[in-house]
Amino acid sequence: MKLKQRVVLLAILLVIFIFTKVFLIDNLDTSAANREDQRAFHRMMASLHVELDPRLDHTLQSPWEIAAQWVVPREVYPEETPELGAVMHAMTTKKIIKADVGYKGTQLKALLILEGGQKVVFKPKRYARDYVVEGEPYAGYDRHNAEVAAFHLDRILGFRRAPLVVGRFVNLRTEIRPVATEQLLGTFMTVGNNTCFYGKCYYCRETEPACADGDIMEGSVTLWLPDVWPLQKHRHPWGRTYREGKLARWEYDESYCDAVKKTSPYDSGPRLLDIIDTAIFDYLIGNADRHHYESFQDDEGASMLILLDNAKSFGNPALDERSILAPLYQCCIIRVSTWNRLNYLKNGVLKSALKTAMSHDPISPVLSDPHLDALDQRLLSILATVKQCTDQFGPDVVLVEDRMTLSHL
């Protein structure tokens, strides 16, 4: 064989060797990542049921101190939380030492301070479990049970971006009135034999109070994030106009995602993939009302998108508002870890997992069966949407590997 032919042959063999090595390494890395996703899923399933137990073993810290230490830029609570039951027990039982009107917003809520100085947001029950909210997908009052269900769905999906939520019964006469501010007390009233209040908010009206059953009011309490982590509010790029006859750009421009990708903080970092995760989360719970979102301040796009205010969810189990998925089907990208988790949850696993996770809650049953059934159906729609993307663009483009180290130092 001539020298020139040998050189050419060696060059070809070298290219084949390099390609094979890269291919094998990529596949090994992907396989290892998939195995870790599967292990993480099994760990989540094993820890689904949380007993509300006041005991805190091996620590002298209060439940509030423990929960505050959990928060880092990319998650509100860690994957392994043996103290979760104790923190949630404290949220639902600790003495209320102050009650005030809720922070700014459109919906009725109260701001409570629990023994030990911990702030929580109380959202009162407005509807029976089987009530169906008709009309626009963002219609109706906030649903307190939706906050509870959304928190546990966040656990199941492995996002860990929603503040802790648990159901709680409060006695408005003995627990709230004695410690209420004048501003909150001024909104109390009696309707029949029931104690009611209407609070202070954009849509709060004296003619539309939330009423207890006698003095006992069912609601949800959401743990306030630590003050050392101030929040920054952002307009959601796929927000609605809320004006009849006026469409947002994303509703008519099929190339809208390309424009979003050119603007900060969506042009780099994890924020756009967080938007996609959130669209999936919101579609599952039926939340079409995320017009804004919060992250931590001065994060330069590195902070998570925090899954706050999920109460405009689980309104109508028969309504699957596909436009909520617009970030997914317009951008056609999704985290590999999210894709894997969704696949592990099909065939009825999602419904069963959420039912198990919520079974410990003081206001259980949290959701009616039609809402649980709707989750499994919506999951199939999400999987079908991703498949359409992979069929069109290929899995290498659609499935994005974006795993970030979550430091708890």
The tens digit of pLDDT for each residue in 319-360 reads 999 999 999 999 999 999 999 999 999 999 999 999 999 999
Lowest mean pLDDT segment, chosen from 31-35, 116-120, 132-136, 374-378: 31-35
Using the structure block, give the residue that is written with the tokens 């990708």. Answer: 261
Phi-psi region of 229 (alpha: psi -120 to 50; beta: other; left: phi over 0): beta
Q: Do the annotations mark residue 222 as ligand-binding?
A: yes
Report residue 199 as tokens: 């609070």
Task: Give 279's contacts (C-beta < 8 A, 6+ positions apart).
Answer: 238, 324, 325, 326, 327, 328
Q: For residue 260, what pLDDT band results from cuts at 50, 70 and 90?
A: very high
Mean pLDDT, residues 75-82: 95
Q: Do the annotations mark residue 350 as ligand-binding?
A: no
Q: Distance between CA atoms of 276 and 263, rounded to whole angstroms?
A: 16
Check whether 24 has a pLDDT greater than 60.
Answer: no
Q: Do the annotations mark residue 28 as ligand-binding?
A: no
Task: Give 295's contacts (C-beta < 8 A, 6+ positions apart).
Answer: 231, 232, 234, 271, 303, 304, 305, 306
| DSSP strand pairing (194-197 vs 334-335) | unpaired
Phi and psi torsions of 313, nearest 5°: -130, 170
Q: Distance between CA atoms of 25 and 37, rounded to whole angstroms?
A: 18
Q: Is 277 a catalytic residue?
A: no
Helix (H, G, I), strand (E, B) or coil at 222: strand
Q: For residue 33, what pLDDT band results from cuts at 50, 70 and 90?
A: confident
Q: Do the annotations mark residue 250 as ligand-binding?
A: no
Kindly state the DSSP code that residue 48 receives in the 8-state scheme: -
Quick one: pLDDT at residue 137? 85
List, for residues 291-318, the tens digit of each pLDDT value: 999 999 976 778 999 999 999 999 999 9
Distances (CA, A) of 188 to 95, 98, 104, 202, 299: 20, 15, 19, 17, 41
Q: Locate all alpha helices (DSSP H) within 50-192, ordered by sequence.
A: 63-70, 84-93, 144-157, 182-185
Q: Which of 37, 289, 361, 376 is catalytic?
A: 289
Check whether 5 has a pLDDT greater than 90.
Answer: no
Q: Do the annotations mark residue 225 as ligand-binding?
A: yes
